[in-house]
A = this chain, B = another copy of it.
Amino acid sequence: MYVLLIYDIGVKRVSRMLKLCRGYLNWVQNSSFEGELSEVKLKELKSKAKKIMNEDEDSLLIYTSRDSRWLNRETIGVEKMPIDEFL
């Protein structure tokens, strides 16, 4: 399944979250990641993210689409991370 992840994390925790997400998905823009993940890998990522987060302050939005073809992406301005091969 195709995953799009956006986080809003406290400054003390954000570098650990960045490192974690980079291990699973492609960084596309500030606090935004994208890529193909299995159910198992997404579950793993979510449980690790919860260990980093302060769930009273931080926010993690995970969008999933069963097929990347159901999701179009358009970039205006700087393509921070050219990942044409993903979407």
A residues 64-87 touching B (CB-CB < 8 Å): 64-67, 70-80
In the assembly, how many copies of this chain are there?
A: 2
A residues 25-51 touching B (CB-CB < 8 Å): 28-32, 46, 49-50
User: Chain A: interface residue count, which band?
Assistant: 35 or more
Chain B residue contacts of A56, Cβ below 8 A: 77-78
Q: Give Cα distance in the complex from A65 to B4, angstroms.
A: 13
Contacts beyond the supplied A55-B76, A60-B75: 20 A-B pairs with Cβ under 8 Å: A4-B4, A8-B30, A8-B78, A28-B61, A30-B59, A56-B77, A56-B78, A57-B77, A57-B78, A58-B77, A58-B78, A59-B75, A59-B76, A61-B75, A63-B63, A63-B72, A63-B73, A64-B72, A65-B65, A65-B72
